[in-house]
């Protein structure tokens, strides 16, 4: 039985990935800081559900605490590490940038050190569509330059990619970075748009709509995302013999077993259409509070997911109406509304 260490198993995406890998017969070891960035009870409930499976175990600890993380790695000897834990949220990075440096740079370095010392088969790490920053040519392709990050959150994620490449090159450590695009679904984070919109509409409180709703996002349903990650575990990058060996469209590094992969729905959805899907599912209109563009935000994100399809044979495709319906059902059940 293969062992996968996942950082951030009490988080939204980590919980869903752990659940999927357990269903697929992996042994999963979780590591989570259980920070109070949002309601810790939600995180505890996710872990409680995972702990019902005998092949799941977990440790509470911060990414910055290298000794605790290293001890866990030495005890459990994972074959694969999937690094999802991070200080999340674009907007919070304006208020507390140091939290992002600590978790996303120092913490990621600690994870890479553990992966190097263990000699894991594959290190997979979460990046974000935010690294494309001010790029305007869409859909975003992994092979295009991404040097114009607009927030400290995005900058720390790009730093993680750069550090990952150096470790792949120096230590022949296979590294895959996946860039997420606006993930949503059941057990989501309370600071995310779908959660806030659903809560506001049900409670008859105004919802803030930035840039007057003139925004587009590539909304990716969480189960689609984690299916993509699970498939990428087996798509281990190999250092190419020569740059000519790299297939067209592949982001594989010419000098390292390192690759960047978009995981998105390949569908650009207008924010107002997304809100209308939520209103339709809830059966009531939102009280809309139109706002100017938020500092550091981008007007649009849109993924080209062809590389994911080439590597795994899979492409996310859940329609937003179906995904929103599943979230609303979970929200009503969880909060009894």
Residue positions annotated with a catalytic role: 153
Tokens of 239: 């250092």
* Whether the Cβ atoms of residue 185 and residue 320 lie closer than 8 Å to each other: no
CA distances from 19 to 44, 120, 137, 166, 181 (A): 15, 21, 36, 31, 21
CA angle, residues 62, 68, 69, in degrees to nearest 5: 75
DSSP 295-319: TT--SB--B--HHHHHHHS------
Task: Give the helix/strand (H/E) hosting 291.
Answer: none
Tokens of 120: 């894991």
Among candidate residues 129, 146, 283, the one with its CA nearest the CA of residue 216: 129
Partnered with residue 289 across adjacent β-strands are 208
Residue 295 and residue 31: Cα distance in Å, rounded? 32
**Size (the chain), residues:** 337
Range list of H helices, 107-192: 107-118, 152-171
Residue 120 and residue 78: Cα distance in Å, rounded? 7
Among candidate residues 262, 181, 185, the one with its CA nearest the CA of residue 223: 185
* Whether the Cβ atoms of residue 35 and residue 41 lie closer than 8 Å to each other: no
Residue 128 and residue 89: Cα distance in Å, rounded? 11
Question: With the CA atoms of 10, 14, 17 and 20 taken in that order, what torsion angle do they form, in degrees rounded to the nearest 10?
Answer: 0
Partnered with residue 258 across adjacent β-strands are 175
């Amino acid at each position: 039985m293969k062992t996968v260490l996942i950082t951030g198993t009490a988080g939204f995406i980590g919980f869903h990935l752990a659940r999927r890998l357990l269903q697929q017969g992996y042994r999963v070891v979780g590591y989570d800081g259980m920070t109070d960035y949002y309601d810790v009870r939600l995180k505890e409930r996710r872990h409680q559900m995972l702990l019902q499976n005998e092949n799941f175990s977990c440790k509470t600890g911060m990414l910055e605490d290298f000794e605790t993380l290293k001890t866990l790695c030495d005890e459990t000897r994972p074959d694969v590490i999937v690094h999802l834990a991070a200080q999340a949220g674009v907007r919070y990075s304006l208020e507390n940038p140091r939290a992002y440096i600590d978790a996303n740079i120092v913490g990621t370095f600690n994870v890479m050190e553990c992966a190097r010392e263990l000699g894991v088969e594959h290190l997979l790490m979460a990046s974000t569509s935010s690294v494309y920053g001010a790029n305007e040519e869409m859909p975003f392709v992994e092979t295009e330059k991404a040097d114009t990050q607009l927030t400290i959150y995005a900058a720390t994620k790009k730093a993680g990619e750069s550090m990952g490449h150096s470790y792949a090159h120096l230590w022949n450590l296979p590294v895959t970075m996946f860039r997420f695009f606006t993930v949503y679904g059941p057990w989501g984070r309370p600071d995310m748009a779908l959660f806030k919109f659903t809560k506001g509409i049900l409670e008859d409180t105004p919802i803030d709509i930035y840039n007057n709703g003139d925004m587009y996002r590539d909304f990716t349903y969480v189960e689609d995302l984690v299916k993509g990650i699970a498939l990428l575990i087996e798509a281990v990058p190999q250092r190419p013999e020569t740059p000519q060996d790299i297939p067209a469209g592949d982001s594989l590094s010419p000098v390292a077993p390192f690759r960047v992969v978009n995981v998105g729905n390949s569908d650009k959805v207008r924010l107002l259409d997304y809100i209308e899907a939520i209103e339709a599912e809830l059966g009531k209109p939102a009280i809309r509070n139109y706002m100017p563009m938020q500092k550091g935000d981008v007007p649009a994100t849109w993924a080209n997911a062809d590389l994911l399809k080439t590597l795994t044979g899979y492409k996310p495709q859940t329609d937003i109406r179906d995904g929103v319906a599943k979230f609303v059902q979970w929200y009503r059940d969880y909060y009894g509304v």
